[in-house]
Amino acid sequence: MPAFKAVIPARYASSRLPAKPLLDLGGKPMVVRVAERARLSGAEEVWVATDHPEVHAACTAHGVAALLTRADHPSGTDRLAEVVAQRGWASDTLVVNVQGDEPLIEPELITQTARQLAVSGADIATVAHPLTVAADFFNPNVVKVVCRADGDALYFSRAPMPYARDHFAANGTASLPAGLPAYRHVGLYAYRASFLNAYASLQEAPCEQFEALEQLRALWHGYRISVTLVDAAPAAGVDTPEDAVRVRKLFDPA
């Protein structure tokens, strides 16, 4: 297994779920639950990167390493880059970005993503799984990825791709044809620190602005994104109050 570090960006503000990192799950803040999962992945270091003193204090109280980062980062990737700079990590360090709202994430998925980055030699690694439901394929909130022969991402889009022209013309859009290589992108990333160091200076890609997908910036500038395929979607994260109720029941069934 390659040596890697896990960083959990944990922004305090959330329009749909205020103070989301501190959501109580069975007596512990959600961000601490995520860190516990990340530790099981075999990461040599696990850090929470937050913009809020309360999140930092909660992590410290539960023995989780945390860093205070700037509040004005436009993305989690920018926050990771600040962690790399604060910690002085070497440019060849592998860093997995574990979302702070995924307390059910499988540790093996974190490990697998780091392994994909190491084995592929790419700048970035990420995850995808097959799409089998037409409604998901045509849903713009479901991001699709098309890969090259070597497993690197060719393009990411909210549009339905690859588009089965003849099948949809003949049968409509209620079903997908057998064998269509349609994959949903899962937003788990592993980066080489060298890419994170360069990220802030990269110009936004025109396609990124229209698709609202920041990973297109890396592709536009010629960076490689290797995709590891899993059989099915990972457990859903916590984005809404309804999600919070669902996940709380898992940690505190009573």
Does 254 score more than 60 pLDDT?
Answer: no
Greatest Cα pair distance in the chain: 61
Average pLDDT for residues 224-250, to the nearest whole number? 90
Nearest to 48 by CA among 108, 95, 8: 8
For 87, the token pair is 């910690």
Which pLDDT does position 249 carry in this prediction? 87
For residues 20 and 109, is the Cβ–Cβ distance under 8 A? no
Helices H, strands E: what count in the chain? 10, 11
Enter the pTM of the model.
0.92
* Contacts of the segment 178-181: beta carbons below 8 A, 24+ positions apart: 181/146, 181/147
Which pLDDT does position 15 carry in this prediction? 66
Q: Residues 145-159: pLDDT tens digits? A: 999 999 999 999 999
Which pLDDT does position 237 carry in this prediction? 86
Q: Residues 36-85: pLDDT tens digits? A: 999 999 999 999 999 899 999 999 999 999 999 988 888 888 889 999 99
What gap in Å lies between CA 39 and CA 46, rounded to an integer?
Answer: 7
Average pLDDT for residues 132-155, to the nearest whole number? 97
Return the number of other C-beta atoms located less than 10 Å from residue 45's C-beta: 16
